Chains A and B, each alone.
Chain A
């Protein structure tokens, strides 16, 4: 009789173990990005580690009155003991690298231009509203005048971590800009966004003393798409003709919290593929800490050669889950 009891339980235990062990390909429910555990993550978009990571498609729309449909971003995520890597792929007909570029019209320089970006927003700590409604809760768009719209939270205690990969400003230096949203610093502030702390590095403005043109150019030539710190040489007007374009920033990665997201993006055949890697827990107060298997809500924004407002955003709240 004792024997019957024990053998019954052993059979049950075996059945359970079999159930648990037999797991097929990982699937992900809608609006959920399931991160799969791998041995080591990297910024390599073609690495084998992505093979078992389920794909999640996120549709997007611009949140202004016109509500244009934006790109559909396909996301995948993997993590190891220390870091998480998020891979994003979306269609974009052009590689918009001319962010605020200096263009010579024959007589004078003018600065203009936007860039492609991808942004992810994660609440820092538990945030009930963000978790149920998504990043729309940090968008203050009640004003009839769109110029007065701003992003941020209503209390200094509530913060949202913001990762912004910028195709022209950060991608060449291999990072994504790390900032965060909180309440407006002062009554007259126009935004609740603040940059993460940094201990050096970052882009330097490429402008002459009078501010009317670039001071430097890339040593490789006038039409380089970007200038990394160390590649700059003094501007040689002999090489400049009408239509020449020179980047208005000399790029380098930030040191410290602002530069703790490593990124690598490649544009080819009408598609951007971007991989962002960050430590699961950076230890910084201005960053969201990930504690697998705790699910994290997040929002996504994709910018096609545009500035702040014209970003297309995810419609439903997204969830980062772990496997």
Chain B
């Protein structure tokens, strides 16, 4: 840029200051260097700000699902949980849908009802003894294994424990 010839100013206006012009190239280089560094700084800060905490691993917590005595054995029970959680700056009641099954009343399988394809909530089809996703007709076994349809992974199985007769799962 500083190589380009500056157009001559009209005579009545005056003329370019020759003494100042000798520093033209130096000033231009300094300007771009400082601007470049500042821009990188601003962009970097901006990107970090916008990403925020979105890449933080989610903290898991134990949530109560219900009294073991009230969950019939041998059947897949849909359990809804509600717990206080933090959603960014809000305190919200986080709700979710899980499916709990136990053959003997002591050992439980708790599955996250979120379909691993695109996030819809699956339904339990007791007639077919399978989970069915209403979005793309995916099918999972009672243990969450994919038998048909587009999901790439089985349903997420959660850690469980029974404390004081209450079934809990780690979400």
Interface on A for B, CB 8 Å cutoff? 129, 142-144, 154
Contact = CB atoms under 8 A, between A and B. Distances in A.
Contacts of A129: 95
Given A142-B67, A144-B70, 7 more contacts: A129-B95, A142-B66, A142-B70, A143-B70, A144-B67, A144-B69, A154-B82
A129 B82 CA distance: 12
A142 B95 CA distance: 17
B127 to A, nearest CB: 15
Interface string B68-104: 0110000000000010000000000001000000000
A148 to B, nearest CB: 11
A157 to B, nearest CB: 12
A142 B66 CA distance: 8
A154 to B, nearest CB: 8
Interface of B: 66-67, 69-70, 82, 95
Nearest to B69: A144
A143 B46 CA distance: 52
A129 B95 CA distance: 10
Nearest to B72: A65
A215 B54 CA distance: 72
Nearest to A145: B70
9 contacts: A129-B95, A142-B66, A142-B67, A142-B70, A143-B70, A144-B67, A144-B69, A144-B70, A154-B82
A199 to B, nearest CB: 37
A43 B99 CA distance: 46
* A-B pairs, 3 with minimum CB distance: A144-B70, A144-B69, A142-B70
B74 to A, nearest CB: 15
A144 B72 CA distance: 10
A143 B66 CA distance: 9
A143 B69 CA distance: 9
* Residue from the set B66, B70, B95 with the largest chain A CB neighbour count within 10 Å: B70
Nearest to A144: B70
A143 B70 CA distance: 7
Contacts of B82: 154
Contacts of B95: 129
A129 B80 CA distance: 12
A198 to B, nearest CB: 34
Nearest to A133: B80
Contacts of A143: 70
A129 B97 CA distance: 12
Contacts of B70: 142-144
A224 to B, nearest CB: 47
Contacts of A142: 66-67, 70
Contacts of B67: 142, 144
A169 B51 CA distance: 62
Contacts of B69: 144
